[in-house]
Amino acid sequence: MLCENPILEVANLSKDYPLSGMGSARPLYHRLGGEPIKIRKALHDVSFTLNPGQALGVMGRNGSGKSTLLKILAGVVDPTAGEARIRGQIGALLEAGSGAHPDLSGWDNMKLAARLLGVPKLERDLYYEQTARFSDLGSKLAEPARWYSSGQFARLGFAMAAMAPTDLLLIDEALAAGDARFQLKCFDFFYAAKAQGRSFVFVSHALPVLRDLCDNGLVLQDGKTVYTGPIEQAIERYETTNLDIRN
Protein backbone atom coordinates (compact mmCIF):
# COMPACT_ATOMS: atom_id res chain seq x y z
CA MET A 1 0.00 0.00 0.00
CA LEU A 2 1.39 3.41 -0.99
CA CYS A 3 2.00 6.09 1.59
CA GLU A 4 -0.26 9.13 1.47
CA ASN A 5 2.48 11.65 0.65
CA PRO A 6 5.76 9.83 -0.01
CA ILE A 7 8.80 11.83 -1.09
CA LEU A 8 9.76 8.91 -3.37
CA GLU A 9 7.50 6.34 -4.99
CA VAL A 10 9.10 3.59 -7.07
CA ALA A 11 6.80 1.26 -8.99
CA ASN A 12 7.90 -1.85 -10.93
CA LEU A 13 11.23 -0.31 -11.93
CA SER A 14 13.30 -2.34 -14.40
CA LYS A 15 16.45 -1.76 -16.43
CA ASP A 16 17.72 -4.03 -19.22
CA TYR A 17 21.10 -3.80 -20.92
CA PRO A 18 21.81 -5.59 -24.23
CA LEU A 19 24.87 -7.81 -24.05
CA SER A 20 25.51 -7.99 -27.81
CA GLY A 21 28.34 -5.80 -29.12
CA MET A 22 26.64 -4.87 -32.40
CA GLY A 23 25.98 -1.25 -31.46
CA SER A 24 23.42 0.66 -33.55
CA ALA A 25 23.08 -2.23 -36.05
CA ARG A 26 21.66 -4.51 -33.36
CA PRO A 27 17.90 -3.81 -33.85
CA LEU A 28 18.14 -4.18 -37.66
CA TYR A 29 20.17 -7.38 -37.33
CA HIS A 30 17.54 -8.79 -35.01
CA ARG A 31 14.68 -7.93 -37.38
CA LEU A 32 16.50 -9.63 -40.27
CA GLY A 33 16.51 -12.90 -38.42
CA GLY A 34 19.82 -12.83 -36.59
CA GLU A 35 20.44 -14.36 -33.20
CA PRO A 36 18.12 -13.16 -30.42
CA ILE A 37 19.44 -10.18 -28.50
CA LYS A 38 20.91 -11.23 -25.16
CA ILE A 39 19.72 -9.05 -22.31
CA ARG A 40 21.15 -8.50 -18.83
CA LYS A 41 18.43 -7.49 -16.39
CA ALA A 42 20.27 -5.05 -14.14
CA LEU A 43 17.04 -4.23 -12.30
CA HIS A 44 13.76 -6.12 -12.38
CA ASP A 45 10.37 -5.04 -11.05
CA VAL A 46 11.59 -3.11 -7.98
CA SER A 47 9.00 -1.20 -5.93
CA PHE A 48 9.14 0.77 -2.67
CA THR A 49 8.17 4.09 -1.10
CA LEU A 50 10.06 6.55 1.07
CA ASN A 51 8.46 9.11 3.38
CA PRO A 52 9.77 12.60 4.19
CA GLY A 53 12.36 12.47 6.96
CA GLN A 54 13.21 8.81 6.35
CA ALA A 55 16.37 7.12 5.12
CA LEU A 56 16.50 3.95 3.05
CA GLY A 57 19.58 1.72 3.00
CA VAL A 58 20.10 -0.26 -0.22
CA MET A 59 22.11 -3.47 0.18
CA GLY A 60 23.35 -6.16 -2.16
CA ARG A 61 26.45 -7.81 -3.54
CA ASN A 62 28.37 -6.16 -6.37
CA GLY A 63 26.27 -6.36 -9.53
CA SER A 64 22.97 -6.65 -7.66
CA GLY A 65 21.56 -3.44 -9.16
CA LYS A 66 22.20 -0.92 -6.38
CA SER A 67 24.05 1.70 -8.42
CA THR A 68 21.71 1.20 -11.37
CA LEU A 69 18.80 2.02 -9.09
CA LEU A 70 20.43 5.24 -7.90
CA LYS A 71 21.34 6.29 -11.44
CA ILE A 72 17.71 5.89 -12.51
CA LEU A 73 16.48 7.87 -9.50
CA ALA A 74 19.04 10.60 -10.27
CA GLY A 75 17.95 10.77 -13.91
CA VAL A 76 21.34 9.63 -15.22
CA VAL A 77 19.81 6.67 -17.08
CA ASP A 78 16.23 5.89 -18.13
CA PRO A 79 14.39 2.80 -16.91
CA THR A 80 13.29 0.11 -19.33
CA ALA A 81 9.99 -0.21 -17.51
CA GLY A 82 8.26 1.18 -14.43
CA GLU A 83 8.57 4.64 -12.97
CA ALA A 84 9.98 6.63 -10.07
CA ARG A 85 7.99 9.61 -8.80
CA ILE A 86 9.93 12.15 -6.76
CA ARG A 87 8.10 14.94 -4.97
CA GLY A 88 10.56 17.73 -4.34
CA GLN A 89 14.13 18.70 -5.17
CA ILE A 90 16.63 15.87 -5.57
CA GLY A 91 20.41 15.81 -5.18
CA ALA A 92 22.85 12.99 -5.83
CA LEU A 93 26.36 11.99 -4.83
CA LEU A 94 26.96 8.90 -6.95
CA GLU A 95 30.68 8.65 -6.27
CA ALA A 96 33.18 10.35 -3.99
CA GLY A 97 33.83 13.85 -5.30
CA SER A 98 31.14 13.70 -7.98
CA GLY A 99 29.95 17.12 -9.04
CA ALA A 100 33.40 18.70 -8.70
CA HIS A 101 35.29 19.70 -11.86
CA PRO A 102 39.07 19.27 -11.50
CA ASP A 103 39.94 22.36 -13.58
CA LEU A 104 37.82 24.71 -11.48
CA SER A 105 38.71 26.12 -8.09
CA GLY A 106 36.71 25.09 -5.08
CA TRP A 107 34.86 28.40 -5.12
CA ASP A 108 34.06 28.15 -8.84
CA ASN A 109 32.87 24.58 -8.32
CA MET A 110 30.49 25.83 -5.66
CA LYS A 111 29.15 28.52 -8.00
CA LEU A 112 28.54 25.94 -10.72
CA ALA A 113 26.94 23.51 -8.27
CA ALA A 114 24.59 26.24 -7.00
CA ARG A 115 23.23 26.71 -10.49
CA LEU A 116 23.00 23.00 -11.30
CA LEU A 117 21.33 22.18 -7.97
CA GLY A 118 18.81 24.98 -8.27
CA VAL A 119 19.93 27.08 -5.31
CA PRO A 120 17.91 30.35 -5.51
CA LYS A 121 20.03 33.42 -6.28
CA LEU A 122 19.13 35.10 -3.00
CA GLU A 123 20.34 32.03 -1.08
CA ARG A 124 23.61 31.42 -2.92
CA ASP A 125 25.87 33.46 -0.64
CA LEU A 126 24.60 31.44 2.31
CA TYR A 127 25.10 28.22 0.31
CA TYR A 128 28.73 29.16 -0.45
CA GLU A 129 29.38 30.00 3.19
CA GLN A 130 27.85 26.77 4.50
CA THR A 131 29.58 24.63 1.88
CA ALA A 132 32.97 26.19 2.57
CA ARG A 133 32.54 25.70 6.32
CA PHE A 134 31.39 22.10 5.96
CA SER A 135 34.18 21.12 3.57
CA ASP A 136 36.76 22.66 5.94
CA LEU A 137 39.12 23.25 3.00
CA GLY A 138 40.04 26.82 3.92
CA SER A 139 42.51 28.42 1.52
CA LYS A 140 42.46 25.29 -0.68
CA LEU A 141 39.13 26.52 -2.09
CA ALA A 142 41.05 29.10 -4.14
CA GLU A 143 43.06 26.33 -5.86
CA PRO A 144 42.04 24.11 -8.80
CA ALA A 145 40.36 20.95 -7.53
CA ARG A 146 42.89 18.81 -9.42
CA TRP A 147 45.44 19.87 -6.79
CA TYR A 148 43.34 18.35 -4.00
CA SER A 149 44.02 15.02 -2.38
CA SER A 150 41.38 12.35 -2.93
CA GLY A 151 40.00 13.06 0.53
CA GLN A 152 39.79 16.82 -0.10
CA PHE A 153 38.12 16.22 -3.45
CA ALA A 154 35.55 13.97 -1.75
CA ARG A 155 34.91 16.55 0.97
CA LEU A 156 34.20 19.25 -1.59
CA GLY A 157 31.82 17.05 -3.57
CA PHE A 158 29.97 15.90 -0.47
CA ALA A 159 29.67 19.41 0.96
CA MET A 160 28.28 20.82 -2.29
CA ALA A 161 25.61 18.12 -2.47
CA ALA A 162 24.76 18.13 1.24
CA MET A 163 24.39 21.90 1.65
CA ALA A 164 22.05 22.31 -1.33
CA PRO A 165 18.37 22.76 -0.41
CA THR A 166 17.26 19.32 -1.57
CA ASP A 167 14.38 17.26 -0.22
CA LEU A 168 15.93 13.93 -1.20
CA LEU A 169 19.64 13.09 -1.37
CA LEU A 170 20.99 9.95 -3.07
CA ILE A 171 24.36 8.72 -1.80
CA ASP A 172 26.44 5.87 -3.24
CA GLU A 173 29.28 4.75 -0.93
CA ALA A 174 30.31 8.37 -0.31
CA LEU A 175 30.62 7.86 3.44
CA ALA A 176 33.75 5.81 2.88
CA ALA A 177 35.57 8.97 1.76
CA GLY A 178 37.37 11.42 3.98
CA ASP A 179 39.02 11.03 7.36
CA ALA A 180 37.33 9.96 10.58
CA ARG A 181 36.69 13.56 11.66
CA PHE A 182 34.91 14.37 8.41
CA GLN A 183 32.86 11.18 8.60
CA LEU A 184 31.65 12.18 12.07
CA LYS A 185 30.67 15.57 10.65
CA CYS A 186 28.69 13.75 7.94
CA PHE A 187 26.86 11.68 10.55
CA ASP A 188 25.92 14.82 12.48
CA PHE A 189 24.63 16.34 9.25
CA PHE A 190 22.46 13.33 8.45
CA TYR A 191 20.85 13.24 11.89
CA ALA A 192 20.08 16.96 11.79
CA ALA A 193 18.83 16.88 8.20
CA LYS A 194 16.51 13.94 8.90
CA ALA A 195 15.08 15.77 11.89
CA GLN A 196 14.31 18.67 9.55
CA GLY A 197 12.38 16.38 7.18
CA ARG A 198 14.98 15.63 4.51
CA SER A 199 15.10 12.12 3.09
CA PHE A 200 18.00 9.93 1.98
CA VAL A 201 18.72 6.83 -0.06
CA PHE A 202 22.05 5.24 0.86
CA VAL A 203 23.90 2.57 -1.07
CA SER A 204 26.63 1.04 1.06
CA HIS A 205 28.35 -2.17 2.06
CA ALA A 206 28.97 -0.68 5.52
CA LEU A 207 26.17 -2.34 7.45
CA PRO A 208 26.87 -0.55 10.78
CA VAL A 209 26.48 2.79 8.97
CA LEU A 210 23.16 1.72 7.45
CA ARG A 211 21.97 0.40 10.81
CA ASP A 212 22.72 3.76 12.48
CA LEU A 213 21.33 6.06 9.78
CA CYS A 214 18.45 4.24 8.10
CA ASP A 215 14.85 3.50 9.00
CA ASN A 216 14.24 0.89 6.32
CA GLY A 217 16.29 -1.30 4.04
CA LEU A 218 16.04 -2.67 0.51
CA VAL A 219 17.95 -5.87 -0.27
CA LEU A 220 18.70 -6.59 -3.93
CA GLN A 221 20.00 -9.76 -5.55
CA ASP A 222 20.51 -10.10 -9.31
CA GLY A 223 18.43 -6.98 -9.83
CA LYS A 224 15.43 -8.29 -7.89
CA THR A 225 14.01 -7.34 -4.51
CA VAL A 226 14.83 -9.91 -1.84
CA TYR A 227 13.41 -7.89 1.03
CA THR A 228 12.16 -4.42 1.86
CA GLY A 229 11.24 -3.35 5.35
CA PRO A 230 12.70 -2.26 8.71
CA ILE A 231 16.48 -1.83 8.59
CA GLU A 232 17.36 -4.42 11.22
CA GLN A 233 15.40 -7.16 9.45
CA ALA A 234 16.80 -6.01 6.11
CA ILE A 235 20.37 -6.39 7.37
CA GLU A 236 19.58 -9.85 8.74
CA ARG A 237 18.08 -10.85 5.41
CA TYR A 238 21.10 -9.48 3.52
CA GLU A 239 23.51 -11.42 5.72
CA THR A 240 21.44 -14.59 5.34
CA THR A 241 21.27 -14.14 1.56
CA ASN A 242 25.05 -13.74 1.34
CA LEU A 243 25.56 -16.87 3.48
CA ASP A 244 23.19 -18.87 1.23
CA ILE A 245 25.08 -17.70 -1.89
CA ARG A 246 28.48 -18.66 -0.43
CA ASN A 247 27.18 -22.09 0.50
Handedness of CA 125, 129, 140, 163 (dihedral sign): negative
Q: How far apart are CA 125 and CA 127, in angstroms?
A: 5
Domains of the chain: residue spans and CATH: 8-88+167-246 (3.40.50.300), 105-160 (no CATH)
Question: Could you tell me the pTM of the whole model?
Answer: 0.84
- Asked whether 154 and 96 are in contact (CB, 8 A), the reply is yes
Q: Return the closest-CA partner of residue 59 out of 213, 215, 228, 199.
A: 228
In terms of Cβ atoms closer than 10 Å to its own Cβ (0-12, 13-18, 19+), residue 25 is: exposed
What pLDDT was estimated at residue 21? 53
> pLDDT tens digits, the chain, 247 residues: what are they?
445 689 999 999 999 988 765 455 555 555 555 566 678 889 999 999 999 999 999 999 988 999 999 999 999 899 999 999 999 899 888 766 566 889 999 999 999 999 988 899 999 999 999 999 999 999 999 999 999 998 898 889 889 999 999 999 999 876 655 677 888 888 889 989 998 999 999 998 889 889 999 999 999 999 999 999 999 999 999 998 776 555 4
